[in-house]
Structure 1
Amino acid sequence: MTHVLLVEDDMSIAIVITAALEAEGFAVVHCQSLAERDRLLADRSFAALVTDVMLPDGDGIETIETVRARHPAMPIVILSAQNTLDTAVRASDTGAFEYFPKPFDIDELARTVRQAAGAAQGQRSPIDEPVAQGLPLVGRSAAMQSVFRMITRVLRNDLTVLILGESGTGKELVAEAIHQLGNRRTGPFIAVNTAAIPAELIESELFGHEKGAFTGAVARHVGKFEQAAGGTLFLDEIGDMPMQAQTRLLRALQSGTVRRVGGREEIRLDTRIVAATNKDLEPEIAAGRFREDLYYRLNVVPIHMPPLRDRRDDIDVLARHFLQHAANEGLPRRQLTPEAAGLLSRQPWRGNVRELKNFVYRLALLAREDVIDAESLAPLLAGEGGGVPEGEGGMQAGTDIADAVAQWLATTRPASGTIYDSAMAAFERPLFAEVLRETAGNQLRAAQALGINRNTLRKRLGELALDPEEFARRS
């Protein structure tokens, strides 16, 4: 693992630099002061140092000589908002590898650090590049840079955040990043999938209950709001929350207090709320399934997570990132050739980052060679050579449903807590395709056969990239 030390007290700048450097294959260790920098440099070596000049406890340029004395071969890149000739001269006099006045081109900075580390340690072949594991979010595409910028704007406040995006795009990772980098990082991060809790228990889970509040309440139960005190409460799949619970949640957000089921005491809230949904809430509001006033309470700062098809530039680095994680978890260590990475980048990935991760783990398990090229990757993508059909969710023809489920679990094995969502996504596309074949692409008849609203069917067909006209032509 190639590590870079970043000394920057402006968190909004630090998170963008970290993302760019991680996309270049570095692990970034970030600190915000000269004292922290010196402690880290006393314990270990780094491939490069990227440092701001004006720091809370001193001038980054004035102390470069002490760094040089301890690590003479480590290249140093200096950043500064003091864009004066004097600062440029001082940076040059230190023998810094490069000096960047702010604002600077983040891509140019990342390339410069790569060159600096290569000059000091010898360039690695791209196929051997490690992938960093710092921040939970990976990506340097324009779409993800917009996400990073929105994250930086909510780190120093407790504004409520609503994360919107398709299933599998990484909404929980955004919530985790907001927590880990924000001012509540020392508190707990409590995640709740509101769609997975039975409607009759959701109020108890969120707000707690007193002993004897209902049958089976044999002791006091502390709810998720209280468990998240001092930290962050992440309400996932908020669009599927029952209406009665929505009313209680709205009251809690308005009053800043909660009351346990069966209790009388008002408990003051001390938690940041981050919510997420894969649904378009405005049609849900129009249909009376989601409270409009709750929507405006939650939608203070919206963050839109892009689908993977809108960030194809990130697929290469994501795949390498997941291959490294797979190796860390005991699977064989694999590498991708540039051609294989390009082939992955051209796939539809309708299940977004989650589908890509599952496929990469399967690839690490099933690949025959340590270095995976496009020729050996293609059969796995096509469902041959021991792989499973990506387009049909891994359920092969000719098996009954029990066998198909067993086969799908054995080959795909989604992460714990995501099996239901992944199974529904895998089953839904071939199911809709079969019904469309039977109805010759007639959406009205297909919706009636499925027992769902025609508008719902049309929306899901678009999300699943199924064209009814194609089935009409086949008939």
Structure 2
Amino acid sequence: MTLPTVLVADDDRSIRTVLTQALGRSGYQVRTTANAATLWRWVEEGEGDLVITDVVMPDENGLDLIPRIKRLRPDLRIVVMSAQSTLMTAVKATQRGAFEYLPKPFDLKELLSVVARALATPLPAAAPAAPGDPEERLPLLGRSMAMQDIYRVIARLTTADLTVMVNGESGTGKELVARALHDYGRRRNGPFVAINMAAIPRELIESELFGHERGAFTGATNRNQGRFEQASGGTLFLDEIGDMPPEAQTRLLRVLQEGEFTTVGGRAPVKANVRIVAATHRDLRQSIRSGTFREDLFYRLNVVPIRLPPLRERSEDIPILARHFLEKVHQSGLPSKTLSEEAMQRLQAHRWPGNVRELENLMRRLAALYPQETISAEVIGVELAENSGAAEAAPASHVEQEPLAQAVERHIRQFLAASRDGMPMRDIYDRVIAEVERPLIQMTLASTKGNQIKAAAMLGLNRNTLRKKIRDLEIPVVRGIG
């Protein structure tokens, strides 16, 4: 029996060595190269059963090589690896025909699992080629593992019109996810229409969604198109779906079931030709239990759930976000600013109740109000204290808080639900522990102003143990005693 052959193209010698050893131990033949030209020659000669390729190579971009490989050998599966851990890398790899995209540094067990799955999975029917690459606007930023998971889910969903439910706190970027699904999906040439349920008076929601006929109600002097008609051929984004009143929920459910609707005051059915992306900051399962949201509608909308993590759960993304926002405001005409290392550490230690939107607004204020080119930690401290300190310092008795055990249980349910819905989650135990442990240590250090001796005493940890956890969890250390 001939062993499957894996072709590896990566200009990093250490990665080639690691993959040669790991794939060899797993029963594969391996051929490696540091450039795209050799990989292409092997493909032309009929070599290999699977390709693993880096994106940035000395002679050619690995993403540009994918369409040529797929035209010549459509049965050859391709796995893309990249240190350019952006949404666009994942989208381009998927749309050009890659079987899977893995960000660097990659998990070796996961890569071996992808290789086995790729070789065992029957090839789907060829999809029509995308009409050119989508514009690289980087609507979502971050290199954290949580964001990498979201990038890969969005990339997979660009080839299908599945209904998506985006859940996340205010300011996390739910509309950005909806726009990414539209801009890089099949309906990119159609309209993107958004409606915020919380901003529309209850009595007008049905008219806003489905339109109305002339004379349907007092003041209806003309026929008006609703958002479903306006979004025909494109995407309809239903923001804050948890605030939709019951009567509108019933009509929306009927549209999802039957694929058509009638205008308010109308009789002739209108075909609904839209992809729906819904979003909410609420726990809709709790709303179902309280009787304010229909369970059957929830399951119609929650075909593919995407949870956007709050910024405090991905503080490693704060530097890239802050620099991006500072560059953005500089391009709009405000002075160029940079952040000192200590200032960046203060940002990473903050809780960010307003999430990414709060961070963006802070960067705008810094660029507009402060004359110095380099922003110090003291300036950050003043800004954060003035704009959110009062809320963070409020006594616990005045703040409605979710019990820790309940919050952890909710996150675990989401991890397991994502796995059941075809988006495998790995290392759930380690991820849940890290989500609790990292902010606990980070906030304790912030409260002691970086004094590790005091922080260790507060946490009940040995000082050496605390230092090891700070190092392992890559927690930014605020300068101070200890």
Per-residue Cα deviation, 1:309-359 (whole angstroms, up to 9, x for no partner): 110110111111111111122222211233322221111111111111111
Return the alpha-carbon distance in structure 2 between the equivalents of residues 282 and 218 of structure 1: 40
Q: Match for 1:390 among 372, 388, 394?
A: 388
Residue 104 of structure 2 aligns with which residue?
107
Asked if 1:270 is matched to 2:273, the reply is yes
Q: Partner of 1:182 in structure 2?
A: 185
Contact 1:209–1:217 (CA<8 Å) still a contact in 2?
A: yes
**Which whole-Å CA distance do the structure 1 matches of 2:326 and 2:403 have between them?**
31
Structure 2 counterpart of 1:139:
142
Matched, 1:341 2:334: no
Determine which structure has greater relative contact order: mean sequence separation of CA pairs < 8 Å that are 6+ residues apart, divided by chain length.
1
Worse-matched range after superposition: 351-360 or 171-180: 351-360
- Structure 1 residue aligned with 2:287: 284
1:154-189 Cα deviation digits (max 9, x unpaired): 111111000011111111100010001111111110
Query: Does residue 239 of structure 1 match 2:239?
Result: no
Q: Which amino acid aligns with 1:50?
A: N
Query: Over residues 42-82 of structure 1, what are the superposed CA-to-partner deviations in whole Å (9 max), with x where a residue is unaligned?
Result: xxxxx996234654457999xxxxxxxxxxxxxxxxxx939
- The reply to whether residue 51 of structure 1 matches residue 62 of structure 2 is yes
3-state SS of 1:343 partner:
helix
Structure 1: how far apart are the matches of 2:175 and 2:184?
A: 14
Amino acid at match of 2:78: A
Shift of 1:373: 3.0
In the alignment, what sits opposite 1:206? 209
The residue identity in structure 1 corresponding to 2:62 is: T
AA aligned opposite 1:317:
I
Gaps (5+ residues) in structure 1?
1-46, 62-79, 84-100, 110-131, 384-388, 394-428, 447-456, 466-475
Say if 1:232 and 1:274, in contact at 8 Å, map to a contact too: yes
Amino acid at match of 1:142: M
Secondary structure of the 1:392 match is: helix
Q: Which residue of 1 aligns with 2:78?
A: 81
**Is the 2:212–2:226 contact (alpha carbons within 8 Å) kept by the matching residues of 1?**
yes
Distance 1:173 1:241, change over 3 A: same
Q: Is the 8 A contact 1:233 1:274 kept in 2?
A: yes
Please, which runs of 5 or more residues in structure 2 have no aligned partner?
1-57, 81-97, 107-134, 408-438, 440-482
The amino acid of 1:81's aligned partner reads I
Do the aligned residues in 1 keep the contact of 2:79 with 2:100 (CA within 8 Å)?
no
- Other-structure match for 2:255: 252
Q: Distance in 2 between matches of 1:104 and 1:297?
A: 29
SS in 2 for 1:217: coil
In 1: Cα distance, 2:70 partner to 2:241 partner? 47
Question: Which position in structure 1 is the counterpart of 2:303?
Answer: 300
Q: Deviations over 1:394-427 (max 9, x none)?
A: xxxxxxxxxxxxxxxxxxxxxxxxxxxxxxxxxx
Q: Secondary structure at the match of 2:390?
A: coil
Contact 1:161 1:275 in 2 (8 A): yes
Aligned residues: 304
TM-score by length of 1: 0.58
Contact 1:239–1:279 (CA<8 Å) still a contact in 2?
yes
Amino acid at match of 1:391: G
TM-superposed CA distance for 1:460, in Å, is: 10
**Quick one: which amino acid aligns to residue 374 of structure 1?**
A
The CA deviation string for residues 114-140 of structure 1, in whole angstroms up to 9 with x for no partner, is xxxxxxxxxxxxxxxxxx972200011
Query: 2:154 aligned with 1:151, yes or no?
Result: yes
Q: 318, 322, 327: which one pairs with 2:325?
A: 322
* Residue equivalent to 1:381: 384
Taking the TM superposition and a 5 Å limit, the aligned residue runs for 1:452-467 are 457-459=400-402
Per-residue deviation, 1:275: 0.0
Q: Deviations over 1:240-274 (max 9, x none)?
A: 10011000100111110011000011011111000
The CA RMSD over aligned residues, in Å, is: 3.4
Correspondence 1:365 to 2:385: no
Is the 1:210–1:260 contact (alpha carbons within 8 Å) kept by the matching residues of 2?
yes
> 2: distance between equivalents of 1:157 and 1:351?
32
CA distance in 1, matches of 2:216, 2:100: 58
Contact 1:51–1:60 (8 Å) recurs in 2? no
Q: Which residue of 2 aligns with 1:41?
A: none
Instruction: Please say if residues 79 and 101 of structure 2, whose CA atoms lie closer than 8 Å, have aligned partners that are also in contact.
Output: no
Instruction: Report deviation, 1:108.
Output: 5.6
Q: AA paired with 2:388?
A: E
Q: Deviations for 1:362-397, whole angstroms, at most 9, x for unmatched residues?
A: 1111222112232443333333xxxxx32236xxxx
- Measured in 1, the distance between the counterparts of 2:145 and 2:244 equals 32
> What residue is the counterpart of 2:163 in the other structure?
160
CA distance in 1, matches of 2:385, 2:243: 35
Cα separation, 1, equivalents of 2:349 and 2:227: 41
- Partner letter of residue 348 of structure 1? R
Q: State percent identity of aligned pairs.
A: 51
SS in 1 for 2:389: coil
Q: Which range moved further: 153-162 or 336-345? A: 336-345
